[in-house]
Amino acid sequence: MADGDWDGPTVALRARARAKRFRLVSLEKDYDMPKRVLLGLLLACGLAAPALAQEPKTGGVINAVIQPEPPGLMLAQVQNGPTQMVSGNIFEGLLRYSPKLDPLPELAESWSVSEDAKTYIFKLKKGVTWHDGKPFTAADVLFSIEMLKQTHARARTNLAQVDKVETPDDHTVVFTLKQPFGPFLGIFEVGSMPMVPKHLYAGTDWKTNPYNNAPIGTGPFMFKEWQKGSFIRLVKNPNYHEKGKPHLDEIYWQIIPDAAARSVAYETGKVDVLPGGSVENFDVPRLSKLKDTCVTGAGWEFFSPLAWLWLNNRQGPLADKRVRQAIMYAVDRDFAKDVIWNGLGKVATGPSASTIKFYTDDVKKYPYDPAKAKALLKEAGYKGEKIRLLPLAYGETWQRWGEAVKQNLQDVGMTIETIATDVAGGNQKIAEWDYDIAFTYLYQYGDPALGVGRNYISSNIAKGQMFNNVEGYSNPDIDKLFAEGAVATPDSKRKEIYEKAQKILVEDVPVAWMLELQFPTIMRCKVKNLITTGIGVNDGFKDAWLDK
């Protein structure tokens, strides 16, 4: 995983091509047409399911795949992807987020912001109990924050702007910020800030607390058993605070180490849900075509993984803006989307994914245009100097993508040498700035202040570290805009600032943005409402029900 806490789709991928705009004239008819329609219908079926006003049915057991086996389930201490996926059903945060990333109530039923945007008051839901029957109160929130500051790196950063937290009564929490922090309402999702029970953890050694192995949360499902290497079993929480939910009786998270075996498990009916990245992506089209199968790419909006090429701005031909722009024109990103990613995802327009706040597509466009790329290279005086390309060693998808990009760049006259490396070696080369072009993808966390600015501001240039401004782009205007954007109010002002920043960045091309990635969830169509929110892959089973 390039960053974030998730290590799912590092699997290989091969796409069944449905390249709509394939460049060469195909002499035969498009045999894939019916499949495309079919997949479209399947996608529609998956996405439209929540919209159908069908009465949820109660009961049933769902088998889902979890890949790989999580190292632990105590979400406040372990934040791996599979942990988030399983524990998102056991624990809860104060808020959830809609696919448009608007905050939705979860443990907080309402919230208000002061005029100066420095005080946030959360009203907690009444009548919420932990799985052991004890009531959930503001004291638990206070305790959770203290614990997360020590155990959860991202929560610590997110809470850096918090001056103090107060609990005037059992159902009110007041956050006072040092200065206004625009994305503040975006840090309360279960994976970013899970609520942990104070009565079980206070005064104990958190790392060795026995409840780490049998976690107690407030969520719709309770931990029942974990047969290591085999399955994790969650059962319905009968006293869940949202009346009538959850609809399911039990969830079995099946642990199947081999990718091919996971596909077979779905084909034979052993499992009903394949979360994103749990099967090889070239298997996705085949599985999608199975009877009663629905596919959706939804549920990732909050994370919005965005893939790009790091371009080393410091040295060689890439120090010239025109060469970097030429790369944007030279790489056929639609081909990558249609062929390598099996039509999933979206061509990126700039540093922000289209699913996060303050995104604008009113920026300079870089369509696939080899002629323009060649002209720009010529103008920049590029004379075939050797450029090293570092693919991402996350399996075949990325290997194929590296090969395609290399070919694209060679087609416009660049001399590219692919450097073979493993994940650790690649990370080290990037962190030590020993590369020219390198693949990566990073999470965006819903807000440019949380997930975008970190890659472009010059204060984040630090040799030896990953995932910061490793491209070495330095622009005082951008530094100023991101500094202002994080603390500006109201949102319309932030929007203005971030749109300006996006325009400048897209003109300068500090890195070459490729695709907004999508990891499809494959499931039987009888599983309804599995993904309803922007963090849906992790909190999905709360609303899900089985149509028998």
Partner 1 sequence: MLKSPSGVIGLVILLVAISVAVFGPMLFPNSPWRMVQRPFLPPFTLGAVPLGTDALGRDIFAGMIFGARVSLLVGLVSTLAALIVGVPIGAMAGYFGGKVDDALMRFTEFFQTIPSFALAIVLVAILQPSIYSIVASIAVVSWPPVARLVRGEVLSLRTREYVQAAVVTGQSNSWIILREILPNALSPVIVLASLMVATAILLESSLSFLGLGDPNLISWGYMVGAGRTVIRQAWWITVFPGIAILISVLGLNLIGEGLNDALNPRLSREGR
Among 10-18, 141-149, 201-209, 458-466, which window interacts with partner 1 (CB under 8 A)?
10-18
Q: Would you count residue 407 as binding partner 1 (CB under 8 A)?
A: yes
What is the C-alpha separation between 296 and 84, in angstroms, rounded? 19
Among 299-307, 395-403, 433-441, 539-547, which window interacts with partner 1 (CB under 8 A)?
395-403
Among 138-146, 400-408, 444-452, 521-529, which window interacts with partner 1 (CB under 8 A)?
400-408
Cα 413 to chain centroid distance, Å, stands at 35
Q: Would you count residue 98 as binding partner 1 (CB under 8 A)?
A: no
What is the C-alpha separation between 291 and 526, in angstroms, rounded? 11
For residue 22, the minimal CB distance to partner 1 (Å) is 6
Q: Would you count residue 175 as binding partner 1 (CB under 8 A)?
A: no
Cβ atoms of 288 and 98 within 8 Å: the answer is no
- For partner 1 (CB under 8 A), the number of binding residues is 34
Q: Would you count residue 114 as binding partner 1 (CB under 8 A)?
A: no
Contacting residue, 176, 418, 428, 489, with partner 1 by CB under 8 A: 418
Instruction: Work out the angle at residue 439's Cα, subtended by the Cα atoms of residues 438 and 442, and round it to the nearest 5 degrees.
Output: 125
Q: Would you count residue 340 as binding partner 1 (CB under 8 A)?
A: yes
What is the C-alpha separation between 274 and 263, in angstroms, rounded? 9
Q: Would you count residue 12 as binding partner 1 (CB under 8 A)?
A: yes
Q: Token match 């996926």: residue?
A: 85
Q: Would you count residue 28 as binding partner 1 (CB under 8 A)?
A: yes
Q: State the amino acid at position 41 in one-letter form.
A: L
Cβ atoms of 285 and 444 within 8 Å: the answer is no
Q: Would you count residue 24 as binding partner 1 (CB under 8 A)?
A: yes
Among 26-34, 346-354, 364-372, 437-445, which window interacts with partner 1 (CB under 8 A)?
26-34
For residue 26, the minimal CB distance to partner 1 (Å) is 5
Q: Would you count residue 369 as binding partner 1 (CB under 8 A)?
A: no
Which structure tokens are listed for 91? 């624990």
What is the C-alpha separation between 330 and 270, in angstroms, rounded? 45
Sign of CA dihedral 59, 65, 66, 69: positive
Choice between 17 and 113, CB closer to partner 1: 17
Q: Would you count residue 415 as binding partner 1 (CB under 8 A)?
A: no
Which of 165, 169, 470 lies closest to 314, judged by CA? 470
3-state helix, strand, coil split of the chain in percent (to 5) is: 35, 20, 50
For residue 282, the minimal CB distance to partner 1 (Å) is 5
CB-neighbour burial class of residue 362 (10 A; exposed 0-12, middle 13-18, buried 19+): exposed
For residue 17, the minimal CB distance to partner 1 (Å) is 4
Contacting residue, 284, 339, 437, 497, with partner 1 by CB under 8 A: 339
Cβ atoms of 255 and 69 within 8 Å: the answer is yes
Cα 298 to chain centroid distance, Å, stands at 11
Q: Would you count residue 396 as binding partner 1 (CB under 8 A)?
A: yes
What is the C-alpha separation between 397 and 391, in angstroms, rounded? 10
Site string for partner 1, 241-280 (x = CB under 8 A): ---------------------------------------x
Q: Which residues bind partner 1 (CB under 8 A)?
A: 12, 14-17, 19, 22, 24, 26-28, 280, 282, 286, 335, 339-340, 391, 396, 399-400, 402-404, 406-407, 410-411, 417-422
